[in-house]
Amino acid sequence: MFPAFRPCVDPYTGETVRYHLLIDAIQRSIKEAAKRARLDRYITPHVLRHAYATHLLGAGTDVKTVSVLMGHNSLETTATYLHSHVKGAQNPLDLLVETQPLPPRN
């Protein structure tokens, strides 16, 4: 996903290859991008990963699909991303009462 900028020669095979960036280079790039965007929060690759999962769930993607996309082995791990949606949750019974008013009493 993050190829190195230039190909290099593998010292064992002599073959020209393109390796991936080291995690430090990715972290530096994200830190620089956050600085340029004037974000006042500490942004890391993990923060972006968390935001991605949270937005998927907020858009209605089911937990199982998000779990597969995130590479989680268990749904409990993915369920930790659900915390932000509890604040906006509504009781389904409240919706039922709002759409079907009770008949007037005699």
For the segment 17-47, what is each residue's pLDDT rounded down to a tens digit? 988 878 888 898 899 999 999 988 889 988 8
pLDDT of residue 17: 92
31: nearest Cα among 12, 48, 14, 10: 48
Query: Domain residue spans in the chain?
Result: 1-41, 44-89
Q: Are 31 and 14 in contact (CB under 8 A)?
A: no
To the question of pTM greater than 0.85 for the whole model, the response is no
The pLDDT tens digits for 56-86 are 888 888 889 999 999 988 888 888 777 655 5
CA 17, CA 42: separation in Å to the nearest integer? 34
Q: Where are the beta strands (DSSP E) in 22-98?
A: none
